[in-house]
Every structure is written in C-alpha cells, then in structure tokens.
Amino acid sequence: MTVRLAGVIDVLDEAYPPGLAQSWDSVGLVCGDPDDVLSSVTIAVDATAAVVDQVPDGGLLLAHHPLLLRGVDTVAASTAKGALVHRLIRSGRSLFTAHTNADSASPGVSDALAHALGLTVEQLTPELANAFGASDARGVLVSEVDSSARKAGVARGDIVTRVGASDVKALDDFSKGAASVKSGSVTLTLDRGGSNYTVTLAADGTR
C-alpha cells in the first residue's frame, strides 16, 4: 500500500483542524513534498536533533511543538533550526506540526493528558465562567471526573488555574503543564466558586 504525504496531511487536518490553532501559532507542513511517498510516521513532542536522528529516510516527523515560530527569518544551514530543516529535506524526510489545534481538537492532546489524570476538560468561556461562579474566564473547566479523581477532591465544575507551578489560561497551557510533569503525580490548583483549592493526582489515574 502506497501512502503519500498529501493523504496523511488530509487526515491530520481533519483530526486537528488548522482553524483551531491560536492566532500566534504555526501549524501544518513545515517541509516536505505532498507528492512524496512516506516510509514511516514518527511522533514526538519536539523536533530536536536527537529526534530527527530516529526518523527513517523518507519518513514524516509529526511534532507537537513548532520548530519555527517567533522571529524566524532564515533557515540557513548555519543555524540550529535551519540545519535540522536541511537534514530533513536532504534525506526526503518531512516535518508537520500540530500544536494548539491538536490541544483544542476533540479528542486532542489535552483530552489524553486529562484522561491520564482521571479528568475530562474543556476550554473555559465567559459564559461557563459565569455559570460556575469563576472570577474570570482564564483556565480550563473540569467537565467530568472519574471516581479516583473525585476521591482526591476534584469535582465537576472545578476550574484548573495552575498545573504544578505553571499558570493555566487555556487548553494549551494545561497540555504544557501536564506534559512537563517528571514525577508520577501532579498538583492542580482549582477555582471552585471563587475559592482556590489544591489537589494532587497521580498521572495514571490512581491516587
């Protein structure tokens, strides 16, 4: 079976619509010919030199965090990021980024990370913030909790405002905070009716 890059892009764009990306974000195909036949797909959080080493020639690297984002005006091979792009192109490899559009998609990255904590979360809107008595519309809303998360003190309608030491204003912040946790547990700061609480959850859904 022959799979072309263009076909994979169509699938990714359907799963993670580019229109869901934040205005500052950079998502989609970074380098590669849509007509190329793919040998493999490698998934990673970041497109680093070590990760690129693991991508077979002719393969696609699907990265969560953008390689090229702020203030990039050159991809010269003499720069670190430019060198990676040149390495990919010379070996027929491609790079595609799905970032805040993947966070906000349903299901998306945020859903997977929340599920590991026993939660279902969604973006907090001004209307939801008002309905749940939050002081503002920053954070993510806990829409469902499993029994173990409930036992740990999380309730439906809680608003996550911090993950560990990281502020949470939107789903992308939640994803970054949860993904950066090194240990098997994470501390969440919750807003419940205008009052703040902290709970600690195990990353596998057990407490």
What's the pLDDT at 207?
A: 38
Asked whether 94 and 36 are in contact (CB, 8 A), the reply is yes
Q: Angle at which helices 171-179 and 109-116 pack, to 10 degrees?
A: 50
What's the pLDDT at 206?
A: 39
The secondary element (H helix, E strand) that includes residue 202 is: strand 195-202
* pTM attached to this predicted model: 0.63
What's the pLDDT at 165?
A: 84
Report the residue count for the chain. 207
The DSSP code for 75 is -
What's the pLDDT at 137?
A: 79
Peptide bond into 18 cis (omega under 30): no
171/5 Cα distance (integer angstroms): 28
Q: Taking the chain (207 residues) in consecutive chunks of 10 residues, what is each chunk's mean pLDDT? A: 90 91 91 95 93 95 90 87 94 94 75 82 84 80 89 91 88 77 78 88 59
Q: Which domains are seen in the chain, by residue range?
A: 5-102 (3.40.1390.30), 107-202 (2.30.42.10)
7/141 Cα distance (integer angstroms): 35
What's the pLDDT at 106?
A: 67
What's the pLDDT at 57?
A: 94
What's the pLDDT at 126?
A: 85
What's the pLDDT at 74?
A: 87
Asked whether 186 and 203 are in contact (CB, 8 A), the reply is yes
94/156 Cα distance (integer angstroms): 42
